[in-house]
């Protein structure tokens, strides 16, 4: 009996550590990214940051990414470059995530809503086209 109680307690503790659920939806092929996302204003909500981040920005056709963000009472401007690598969108920045490049796959999870998925399959964030 005692082993069962400890096992249940550990399982509950581990379940509490799991990240946000990854929404189901079809992948957005890299080739469709340009026509679907590029040039549109997006509202982003992070899922994998210690302090949640929200941002409004644009993946520009020239390969730049510009947004205004807020997190934990702070605000700022974010600038990066992006490129397609097959079906992944790779973002390079000198400041975010310790600098360097990170690649994400995108899934369509609503009419104008997309999930960004990290390389390990966890949820990076949710983007919604706002205009």
Domain assignment present for residue 81? The answer is yes
The tokens describing 63, both together, are 């390969």
pLDDT per position as a tens digit, 35-74: 899 999 999 999 877 788 999 999 999 999 999 999 999 9
Domain assignment present for residue 12? The answer is no
Domain assignment present for residue 62? The answer is yes
Domain carrying residue 96 = 23-129
Best CA proximity match to 37, nearest among 104, 123, 119 = 104
Residue of higher predicted confidence among 11 and 106 = 106
The tokens describing 2, both together, are 């005692």
Domain assignment present for residue 104? The answer is yes
Domain assignment present for residue 89? The answer is yes
Distance CA 72, CA 62 (A): 31
Domain assignment present for residue 40? The answer is yes
Domain assignment present for residue 18? The answer is no
CA distances from 26 to 14, 86, 88 (A): 29, 16, 14
Distance CA 69, CA 109 (A): 23
Number of structural domains in the chain: 1
Domain CATH for 84:
2.40.128
pLDDT per position as a tens digit, 91-114: 999 776 667 899 999 999 999 999
Residue 47, phi then psi, degrees to nearest 5: -125, -15
């Amino acid at each position: 009996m005692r082993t069962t109680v400890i096992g249940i307690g550990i399982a509950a503790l581990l379940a509490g550590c799991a990240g946000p659920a990854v929404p189901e939806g079809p992948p957005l092929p890299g080739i469709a990214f340009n026509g679907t996302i590029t040039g549109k204003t997006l509202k982003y909500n992070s899922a994998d940051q210690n302090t949640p981040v929200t941002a409004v920005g644009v993946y520009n056709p020239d390969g730049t990414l510009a947004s205004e963000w807020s997190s934990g009472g702070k605000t700022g401007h974010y600038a990066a470059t992006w490129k397609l690598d097959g079906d992944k969108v790779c973002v390079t920045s000198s400041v975010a995530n310790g600098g360097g490049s990170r690649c994400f796959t995108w899934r369509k999870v609503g009419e104008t809503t997309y999930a960004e998925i990290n390389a390990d399959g966890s949820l990076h964030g949710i983007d919604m086209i706002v205009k």
